[in-house]
A and B are shown apart, each in its own frame.
Chain A
Amino acid sequence: MSDLRRHDVSIGPEHDRLMDLLADEATVGLSEHEHAELEALCLRHTDVPRECMQLAAANLDVLLFSGPASRLEPMPEHVRARIAPPPTRAKVAVDADRDLAAYRLPQSPVLARSSRLGWLAAAACLGLAVIGWWPRLAAGPSDYPVAGVARIESLAAVDRLKASAGDVLVTRFDRGPDPTAAASEAKLYWSPSRQEGYMVFRGLKANDPRVEQYQLWIFDPERDERHPVHGGVFDIPVGQETVVVKVEPRLTVPKANTFVVTVERPGGVWVSDRKRIPAIAKLSS
C-alpha cells in the first residue's frame, strides 16, 4: 500500500486536514493562514510526500498536453524572446539556497537596519516582503546584461510626459543608507497608464560603469514580492549634477507602488544582494 493511501486512510482529523490542504494547494491555492497551517502539519508528518498532490495535478496536465491531438499551443516567438536566461551556475545555486534561507530568517540585516532608518520602515509597512525579497548573490561579473539600459533624458521629457499623460504621479525618493546617496535628492514621475516615467536625480554619486551600475526595481502588490520587475540599469556620469533617467519596465506593472534603486555589478543582476540601496520611493495610490 502506498504512502499516500496509508496516510489517506489513516484515521485522524489531522491527516485528513493535511491531505485536504495539499489537495487545495494543488488545485485552488492556499491563503497565507492555510499555508502556514500546511507547513506546520508537514513538519509533523514528514513521511507524507510534500508535493504529492501538486505532482498528481501536474501529471494530469502533462497528459492533457501530450500526444498529437492535444492542441499544445506553441509559444509565440516574441514571447519566447522575452524569457530571460538563467544566471550562471554559481548564481543559480546560491540564489536557490538563499531563497530558502531568506524564508527561514526572522529578520534580515536590511530589515534590522530599518529600525534605524525610517525610509525602509515605510517599505516594510507596505507589506513588502523585504526579508525574503532579494536573496544574496555571489559576487562576480555579470555574463550578460540582465536588465536593459535605461535611457538618460532631459528635463523637457518630464515636462512632455506631465503635459501628455493625465495620471502622472510624483513623489520624492527617500535616501537609503548607501554612501552614493549621501548628498542626493531625487524625484519620481510615473504614469500608470503609459507605464513609463522618469527619475530625476540630483547629487547622486557618479559611478564607474566598469565597476558598478545603478539598477531600478519596481514592486507591484499583484506580483510575487520576491521578483520585482527590473527597471533597467543606469549610470550617473561624472560632473553631471542633474540626471534624468527614463523608467521603462520590461513588464507591465499596473499597480506599481514602490521603486527601489540599488547598486549592482555592471549589467545588473537578476536578484539583488540588497546590500546597497541608495533610494526608495513609495507611491501613494
Chain B
Amino acid sequence: MSDTILQRVSTGDQSAVRECLDRYAGLVWSLARRFCFNQSEAEDAVQEIFLDVWKSSPRYDATVASEATFIAMIARRRLIDRRRRASRQPDAETIARNLPRVEQTPGRQTELSEEATAASRALDSLRPEQQRVLRLSIYQGLSHEKIAEATGLPLGTVKTHVRRGLIRIRELLSGSGASDGVSAVRIRNDDALPGSTGRKEVRP
C-alpha cells in the first residue's frame, strides 16, 4: 500500500504538504469557522491546527482512522481548547451564522463515500432524543448545561445521551461486529482503512 499523505508529510515530502492542504484545508477551515467567533480567530486557529497536524503526522496510523478523521480530531481538540481558554460559549446567532447545514438533498446520499453514508446511517439509527442531543453537542458546540436548557432534559440524561451516542456511533462505524471501536469516515478518495484493535494513542 502506498504511503498516506500524512505519512509522506512526516517524511518531509513537501508535495504531500500541498496535497494535505488541497484536500483538508476546507475541512479544517469549516470547523474553525464553526467554532470561532470571527474570521480573525479562525485564521489563528487553523495555523495552530496545521502546526499540530504536522507535528502529529508521524503518529498517524491508517488502521486506526482515516486521515480526514484524524485531522478533524486534532482540529476539534485544538478548537475546544481555544474555546475553553476564551471561556465562551457560542450564542444562537453565532451558531446560525457559522453552522454548515447537512442538507438532505436527493442526491446527497449517493454522493457520499461509503463510510460517510455509514456514519449518516449510524446517526440516523440513534433514538431521536439521542440524535438531537448529539447534534447540539457536536454540530452546535453547546455545553451540556445549555443542551439541558434547550431540551428540557435533566443534565445527567444529556451527558448519558452524549456518551452513549458517541459510543454507538463508533460501534456502528467500526463495521460488522468489529471489536475495535475504530472506524473510518472518509472524504472521497481517502485511504483504505480499518481493522485494528486495542488501545491506540494518536494524541498529538
Q: How far is the CA of A48 from the CA of B76 in the complex (A)?
A: 21
Give the distance to chain B from A196, nearest Cβ to Cβ, in Å. 16
- B73 adjacent to A55 (CB under 8 Å): yes
- Which of A67, A74, A222 is B26 in contact with, Cβ under 8 Å? A74
CB-CB under 8 A for A72 and B163, given A29-B81, A51-B203, A224-B48: no
Interface of chain B residues 98 through 117 with chain A (CB within 8 A): 100-103, 105, 107-109, 111-113, 116
Within 8 Å CB of A74, what residues of B?
Answer: 25-26, 29
- B21 adjacent to A73 (CB under 8 Å): no
- B116 adjacent to A62 (CB under 8 Å): yes
- A86 adjacent to B44 (CB under 8 Å): no
Q: How far is the CA of A64 from the CA of B35 in the complex (A)?
A: 14
| B51 on interface, CB distance cutoff 8 Å | yes
Of chain B, the residue at the smallest CB distance from A222 is B85
| A169 on interface, CB distance cutoff 8 Å | no
Q: How far is the CA of A75 from the CA of B43 in the complex (A)?
A: 9
Interface of chain A residues 215 through 240 with chain B (CB within 8 A): 222-224, 227
Of chain A, the residue at the smallest CB distance from B25 is A75
Within 8 Å CB of B202, what residues of A?
Answer: 51
| A70 on interface, CB distance cutoff 8 Å | yes
| A69 on interface, CB distance cutoff 8 Å | yes
- Which of A4, A27, A52, A61 is B31 in contact with, Cβ under 8 Å? A61
Q: How far is the CA of A88 from the CA of B123 in the complex (A)?
A: 40
Q: How far is the CA of A3 from the CA of B44 in the complex (A)?
A: 37
Q: How far is the CA of A20 from the CA of B174 in the complex (A)?
A: 21
Within 8 Å CB of A70, what residues of B?
Answer: 100, 102-103
Q: How far is the CA of A89 from the CA of B44 in the complex (A)?
A: 24
CB-CB under 8 A for A75 and B81, given A4-B167, A23-B163, A49-B200: no
Within 8 Å CB of B119, what residues of A?
Answer: 59-60, 62-63
- A58 adjacent to B21 (CB under 8 Å): no
Q: How far is the CA of A54 from the CA of B40 in the complex (A)?
A: 26
Within 8 Å CB of B108, what residues of A?
Answer: 67-69
Of chain A, the residue at the smallest CB distance from B16 is A86
- A92 adjacent to B55 (CB under 8 Å): yes
| B128 on interface, CB distance cutoff 8 Å | no
| B201 on interface, CB distance cutoff 8 Å | yes
- Which of A28, A52, A67, A95 is B116 in contact with, Cβ under 8 Å? A67
Within 8 Å CB of B187, what residues of A?
Answer: 62, 65-66
Of chain A, the residue at the smallest CB distance from B180 is A3
- B182 adjacent to A49 (CB under 8 Å): yes
- B166 adjacent to A56 (CB under 8 Å): yes
- A99 adjacent to B55 (CB under 8 Å): yes
Within 8 Å CB of B109, what residues of A?
Answer: 67
CB-CB under 8 A for A92 and B57, given A61-B138, A65-B30, A80-B25: yes
Q: How far is the CA of A227 from the CA of B162 in the complex (A)?
A: 31
- A2 adjacent to B169 (CB under 8 Å): no
Question: Interface residues, chain B, CB within 8 Å of chain A?
Answer: 9-12, 14, 17, 21, 25-31, 33, 40, 42-44, 46-48, 50-51, 54-59, 64-66, 68-70, 72-73, 76-77, 80-81, 83-86, 100-103, 105, 107-109, 111-113, 116, 119-120, 123, 134, 137-139, 143-144, 159, 162-164, 166-167, 169-171, 173-174, 178-183, 185-188, 197-204
Known: A19-B163, A27-B138, A57-B138. 13 other contacts (CB 8 A): A3-B180, A49-B200, A50-B199, A52-B167, A57-B73, A59-B119, A59-B185, A62-B119, A65-B187, A74-B25, A86-B17, A99-B204, A252-B44
Question: Interface residues, chain A, CB within 8 Å of chain B?
Answer: 1-5, 8, 19-20, 22-24, 26-29, 46-76, 79-80, 82-90, 92-93, 95-96, 99, 222-224, 227, 251-252, 270
**Interchain residue pairs with CB less than 8 A apart (12):** A2-B181, A55-B64, A59-B183, A61-B138, A63-B112, A67-B109, A68-B111, A69-B105, A72-B30, A73-B100, A83-B25, A252-B40
